[in-house]
């Protein structure tokens, strides 16, 4: 459920500004409205956080994946000052590395430019110019431009590649170079000779390797840097609050949200510090943060919401239970194979056991995958789907526990599964409108939701007729009546505002969207057929791979070596192909299984998922439910 929130207004003396944020953080329940930090301290913290974050991501790239990092001898950091100095040291090395890379790139470009002219020694030419009173200018052009060289200037012809000419003009002091056609490109002498540049590049590469070794040695302290980064981020939050806290005369004040259940205890604690506190219900224009709390059995779906990054609006529904229920069924039908389900169950159990050995609690994600795997096994057992093996080759026990209506042996098994898909759609979307009826009643707008229920029932019959079998499922007169009555109720009460005349006028303005919405109900029900279609595609891939593997092995054993070779090829084919099919099915669950909940179901509920998470100030590694312990610490 979504926990009710209260808005709080807190007023304190200006002298409490330095300590107020830490005390609020210790309480662990106050979600403070976002403030903009300011001041030198805040800016310094932001710069330090940016530098530390850069160092953290840099060192993380040098961590050995296959072995536990061990700090080099004498390289330890424990205190914040030591970590800060360590970060600055690594930053200095990074700046040096960036400078070396930039210089190496400059040299590479210069070497490319100079290479065609050979190992030109600028220093020798400078000595010649200084002693002779002459200067040299070098040009290159296509060979056909030789006739365009000015006759009045002396020049020296230099060896050039085929199709090119190179010349050097010898100029007296103060004499200007001749004006040449645009085809003549001047060659500017490099600061270093080609050999000198190569030597510098080699020196740079040697230093870069030395720095890389330094980074690798220091990567063992990545965890310490990460911990320090979290401390900096927490300090920034407090300093942003401290420096951005609005003030008036001798008072500072804050606004934010707190769970309604914690208001009385919050009031007692603030009284201890001499703060003034007031609570109010959020207005309709305000959007409080969303705190979703569910029992452990339902909470296991939260990893999916975290993966999607979706949070319901404070005034929307918490659909965790319904999402878990239908997502489990969608997952099982899309995977559609009890063998795959067994793999998921075994992998989940293995993950839980390994975690237990390391002293870790069972995570919600592990429980979720265990449930999804178990439901997939049940669906696979009912449909007799086990790694794509044909029904007549399954063990008798697996044949007997399957359901004849959907196990592939009945001529109507496919259409029966399609009907089941449409039934799921009808049930799930009906739940959405039943919840809306409860929300809108006694406002007459609830009649619009009843109309949508009628439309769902009528369109369900239409979907069976048009998509599955017109003979088996003819259009019924009651279905047409449901569609007519449903459309009328939606039209009359969809824009109900308490006045029949103005409501009817609004409905007339929106008659086209209302009609299109009626059609979309049919499309929403039909969209549930994807559960059958995607599951069938996975089954077809499995059966095709099994057939290919059987064809490779053959019925006759033949030579033992030949048989073993074919068997190995078949096993590799089965493993690779089934693994690929498994991964494709996972993607299908993400695309289709989640879509039915997040679009079709949520759309009929009217949810936009526009909320943001309740994120109170709290101490690190401390859950928000630590209110009781904070009361003890403060003596209340």
Residue 257 banded pLDDT, cuts 50, 70, 90: very high
Q: Which pair of structure tokens corresponds to residue 286?
A: 């305000």
CA distance 410 to 391: 12
Mean pLDDT value of segment 137-164: 81
Q: Which pair of structure tokens corresponds to residue 187?
A: 């060659």
CA distance 610 to 366: 28
Q: Is the domain of 62 the same as that of 210?
A: yes
Query: Which is more confidently placed, 113 or 201?
Result: 201
Predicted confidence at residue 632, as pLDDT, reads 39
pLDDT at 415 over 90: no
Predicted confidence at residue 430, as pLDDT, reads 94
Domain boundary among 178, 208, 241: 241
pLDDT at 192 over 80: yes
Rg (CA), the chain: 37
DSSP string for 453-503: HHHHHHHHHHHIIIII-TTTSPPPHHHHHHHHHHHHHHHHHTT--S-HHHH
Q: Is the domain of 103 the same as that of 210?
A: yes
Q: Which long-range contacts (CB under 8 A, 24 or more apart) does 74-81 make?
A: 75/217, 75/218, 75/220, 75/221, 76/221, 77/221, 77/224, 80/228, 80/231
Is 65 among the domain residues?
Answer: yes
Q: Among 73-82, 369-378, 445-454, which stretch is predicted with the lowest mean pLDDT?
A: 73-82
Mean pLDDT value of segment 406-423: 86
Domain boundary among 497, 529, 561: 529
Q: Among 206-210, 341-345, 385-389, 462-466, which stretch is predicted with the lowest mean pLDDT?
A: 385-389
Place of tokens 């979309």: 520
Mean pLDDT value of segment 373-390: 88
Q: What angle do CA 314, 319, 322 make, to 5 degrees?
A: 175
Q: Which pair of structure tokens corresponds to residue 223?
A: 């965890």
As a whole-number percent, the residues of the chain with pLDDT over 90 amount to 28
CA distance 531 to 521: 18
235 in Cβ contact with 49 (< 8 Å):
no
Q: Is the domain of 229 the same as that of 276?
A: no
Q: Classify residue 158 as exposed, middle or buried by CB count within 10 Å of its CB (0-12, 13-18, 19+).
A: middle
312 in Cβ contact with 607 (< 8 Å):
yes
Neighbours of 442 (CB within 10 A): 6
DSSP string for 530-544: HHHHHHHHHHHHHHH
Domain at 11, CATH number: 3.30.70.240
Q: Which pair of structure tokens corresponds to residue 291?
A: 């705190």
Predicted confidence at residue 554, as pLDDT, reads 60
SS (H, E, C) 238-263: HHHHHHHCCEECCEEEEEEEEEHHHH
Is 140 among the domain residues?
Answer: yes
User: For residues 401, 403, 404 and 409, what is the CA-based torsion angle, rounded to 10 degrees?
Assistant: -80
pLDDT at 620 over 70: no
Is 594 among the domain residues?
Answer: no
Query: Which is more confidently placed, 478 or 507?
Result: 478
- Total count of domains within the chain: 4
Q: Which pair of structure tokens corresponds to residue 407?
A: 């196990």
Predicted confidence at residue 368, as pLDDT, reads 93
Is 296 among the domain residues?
Answer: no
pLDDT at 624 over 50: no
| The pairing of beta strand 251-259 with beta strand 247-248 | antiparallel
Neighbours of 274 (CB within 10 A): 9
Q: Is the domain of 464 the same as that of 523?
A: yes
Q: Which pair of structure tokens corresponds to residue 158?
A: 């230099």
Is 28 among the domain residues?
Answer: yes
Q: Whole-model pTM? A: 0.74
Q: Is the domain of 425 the same as that of 525?
A: yes
Is 619 among the domain residues?
Answer: no
Residue 75 banded pLDDT, cuts 50, 70, 90: low
Q: Is the domain of 170 the same as that of 217?
A: no
88 in Cβ contact with 77 (< 8 Å):
no
Domain boundary among 189, 206, 230: 189
Q: Is the domain of 78 the same as that of 131?
A: no
Predicted confidence at residue 625, as pLDDT, reads 41
pLDDT at 627 over 50: no
Mean pLDDT value of segment 605-616: 89
Q: Whole-number mean pLDDT of the chain? A: 83
CA distance 224 to 244: 30
pLDDT tens string 111-146: 988 888 887 777 777 776 666 667 778 888 888 888
Q: Among 108-117, 172-181, 259-268, which stretch is predicted with the lowest mean pLDDT?
A: 172-181
pLDDT at 431 over 90: yes
Predicted confidence at residue 208, as pLDDT, reads 93
Q: Which pair of structure tokens corresponds to residue 162?
A: 């085929």
Q: Is the domain of 184 the same as that of 275?
A: no
pLDDT tens string 264-302: 888 888 888 888 899 999 988 888 999 999 999 999 999
As a whole-number percent, the residues of the chain with pLDDT over 70 amount to 88
CA distance 583 to 541: 12
- Length, in residues, of the chain: 636
Among 174-183, 406-415, 425-434, 512-521, name the most confident range: 425-434
Q: Is the domain of 78 the same as that of 227?
A: yes
Neighbours of 8 (CB within 10 A): 23
Predicted confidence at residue 567, as pLDDT, reads 60
How many helices and strands in the chain, by DSSP H and E?
23, 9
Residue 206 banded pLDDT, cuts 50, 70, 90: very high
Predicted confidence at residue 28, as pLDDT, reads 85
Is 18 among the domain residues?
Answer: yes
Q: Which pair of structure tokens corresponds to residue 599?
A: 């679009």
First and final C-alpha spacing in the chain: 29
Residue 173 DSSP SS3: coil
Is 476 among the domain residues?
Answer: yes
Mean pLDDT value of segment 9-32: 87
pLDDT tens string 588-601: 777 777 888 888 88
Q: Is the domain of 25 the same as that of 108?
A: no
Predicted confidence at residue 635, as pLDDT, reads 38
Domain, as residue range, for 28: 1-35+245-291
Q: Is the domain of 212 the same as that of 91?
A: yes
Q: Is the domain of 137 the same as that of 220?
A: no
């Amino acid at each position: 459920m979504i926990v009710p929130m209260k808005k709080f207004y807190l007023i304190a003396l200006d002298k409490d500004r330095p300590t107020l944020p830490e005390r609020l953080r210790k309480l662990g329940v106050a979600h403070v409205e976002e403030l903009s930090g300011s001041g030198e301290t805040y800016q310094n913290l932001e710069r330090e956080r940016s530098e530390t974050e850069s160092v953290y991501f840099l060192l993380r790239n040098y961590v050995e994946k296959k072995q536990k990092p061990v700090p080099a001898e004498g390289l330890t950091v424990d205190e914040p000052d030591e970590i800060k100095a360590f970060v600055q040291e690594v930053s200095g090395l990074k700046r040096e590395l960036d400078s070396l890379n930039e210089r190496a790139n400059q040299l590479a470009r210069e070497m490319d430019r100079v290479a065609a002219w050979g190992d030109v020694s600028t220093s020798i030419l400078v000595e010649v110019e200084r002693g002779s009173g002459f200067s040299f200018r070098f040009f290159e052009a296509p060979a056909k431009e030789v006739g365009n060289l000015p006759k009045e200037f002396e020049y020296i012809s230099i060896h050039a590649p085929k199709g090119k000419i190179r010349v050097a003009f010898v100029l007296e002091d103060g004499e200007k170079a001749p004006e040449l056609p645009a085809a003549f490109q001047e060659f500017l002498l490099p600061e270093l000779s080609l050999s000198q540049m190569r030597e510098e590049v080699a020196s740079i590469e040697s230093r870069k390797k030395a720095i890389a070794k330094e980074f690798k040695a220091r990567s063992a302290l990545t965890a310490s840097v990460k911990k320090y980064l979290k401390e900096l981020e927490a300090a920034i939050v407090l300093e942003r609050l401290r420096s951005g806290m609005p003030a008036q005369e001798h008072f500072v004040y804050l606004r934010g949200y707190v769970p309604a259940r914690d208001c009385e205890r919050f009031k007692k604690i603030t009284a201890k510090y001499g703060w003034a506190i007031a609570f109010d219900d959020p207005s309709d224009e305000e959007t409080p943060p969303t705190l979703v709390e569910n029992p452990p059995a339902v909470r296991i779906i939260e990893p999916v919401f975290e993966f999607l990054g979706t949070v319901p609006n404070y005034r929307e529904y918490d659909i965790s239970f319904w999402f878990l229920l239908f997502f489990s069924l969608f997952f099982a039908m899309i995977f559609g194979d009890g063998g795959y389900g067994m793999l998921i169950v075994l992998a989940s159990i293995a993950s839980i056991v390994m975690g237990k050995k390391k002293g870790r609690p069972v995570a919600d994600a592990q429980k979720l995958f265990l449930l999804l795997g178990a439901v997939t096994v049940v669906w696979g057992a009912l449909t007799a789907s086990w790694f794509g093996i044909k029904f007549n080759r399954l063990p008798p026990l697996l044949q007997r526990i399957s359901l004849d209506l959907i196990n592939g042996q009945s001529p109507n098994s496919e259409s029966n599964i399609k009907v089941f898909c449409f039934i799921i759609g009808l049930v799930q979307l009906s739940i959405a409108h039943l919840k809306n009826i409860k929300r809108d009643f006694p406002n007459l707008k609830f009649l619009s939701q009843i109309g949508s229920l009628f439309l769902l029932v009528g369109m369900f019959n239409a979907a069976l007729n048009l998509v599955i079998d017109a003979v088996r499922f003819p259009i019924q007169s009651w279905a047409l009546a449901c569609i007519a009555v449903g459309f009328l109720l939606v039209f009359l009460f969809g824009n109900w505002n308490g006045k029949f005349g103005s409501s009817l006028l609004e409905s007339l303005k929106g008659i086209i969207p209302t009609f299109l919405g009626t059609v979309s109900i049919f499309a929403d029900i039909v969209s549930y057929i994807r559960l059958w279609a995607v599951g069938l595609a996975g089954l077809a891939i499995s059966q095709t791979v099994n057939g290919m593997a059987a064809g490779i092995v053959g019925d006759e054993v033949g030579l033992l070596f030949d048989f073993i070779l074919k068997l190995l090829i078949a096993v590799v084919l089965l493993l690779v192909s089934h693994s690929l099919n498994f991964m494709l099915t996972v993607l299908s669950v993400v695309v289709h299984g989640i879509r039915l909940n997040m679009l079709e179901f949520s759309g009929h509920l009217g949810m936009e998922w526009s909320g943001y998470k309740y994120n109170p100030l709290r101490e690190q590694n401390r859950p928000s439910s630590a209110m009781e312990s904070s009361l003890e610490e403060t003596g209340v």
